[in-house]
Amino acid sequence: MYSCNECEKSFSSQNTLGRHKNIHTGRYKCTECGRCYQSGSLLAIHRRSHSGEKPFECSVCSKQFPKYGNLLRHSRLHSGEKPYKCLVCDKAFAQSVYVNRHMRVHTGEKPYECQVCGMVFSVSANLHKHMRVHTGEKPYTCSPCNKRFSQSSTLQRHKRQVHSNRRPYHCPYCQEMFMTNSDLKCHVEQTCLNKHMRVHTGEKPYTCSLCNKMFSQSSSLHRHKRQVHSNRRPYHCPYCQKMFMTNSDLKRHVRIHTGAELYSCRHCSVCFTHHVQFKRHLLKSHNEGSCFVLYTLE
């Protein structure tokens, strides 16, 4: 880190420090804040930060800017222009600062170091977030309960888990829904991925002790034993006392009494009580899924 002798500010490079020193040594001084500039035109541009003057207006959305360079960078949001390209992978960016930051992916450079614990970061914003671990700063406040958080992502996760029942993350294998992406990843890695792979490998590690029939999942074996080798129905409906062999059958039945809608369409947000209704909607309304599903439903 490079420190300024005048104001003790620190910078990640010598060039950045050199540009900063101009505010102390320039001939033209701002009477409002004392910053100095090498030319009168630069001082005039700076004064707009105090007056609020924004003479440059976007012709598309009418947003105004104090500098022409700000307007030029903003206009690329509308045009999609990305003039700055990575020399290694040809990825393009709208601003030069982004391509410089991206290059650290290839070089492995991490110029921003925490002065407390020594951790290094490739982006200064990540260092600022990390510093809250040491300072205890929590700038993000939950509006319903006033609980405070150090990261905006933690606040959003808190709102979903505590103040909302929304589960936007769907398992691609079993359609179970989760509040956070990390919960979904954990579920897939620990539960569904191994089960799904047996569809391709044909592995069936679970054997029925009564008839030696083999199954790829333990739940399939237990269901087989109840349905084939037993008349036991251990699952009771709390509303009408009807009995079922499997918990999944009971859950489907209970929705008749509660009217719960567990399946939400990611395309149009329509909700359904039963999975088969949800699958039929995806196929008919959004052309997603298999025709075989439609035939079996009808």
Task: State mean pLDDT over 125-142.
Answer: 85
Coil/strand/helix, residue 85:
strand
Q: Which helix (H) or strand (E) holds 10?
A: strand 10-11
Report pLDDT digits (tens) over 33-77. Answer: 888 877 788 888 888 888 888 888 999 898 888 888 888 888 988
Report pLDDT digits (tens) over 194-213. Answer: 666 665 567 788 888 888 88
- Between CA 59 and CA 29 the distance in angstroms is 33
Q: Which residue has the tokens 């054997």?
A: 207
Whether residue 237 is predicted with pLDDT greater than 50 in this model: the reply is yes
Biggest CA pair distance of the chain: 95
Q: Count CB-CB contacts under 10 A for residue 137.
A: 13
* The overall pTM is greater than 0.85: no
Q: Are 9 and 3 in contact (CB under 8 A)?
A: yes
Q: Count CB-CB contacts under 10 A for residue 116.
A: 11
pLDDT at res. 8: 67
Coil/strand/helix, residue 23:
helix
**Alpha-carbon distance values, 38 to 15, 23, 32, 234 (Å):** 16, 8, 17, 84
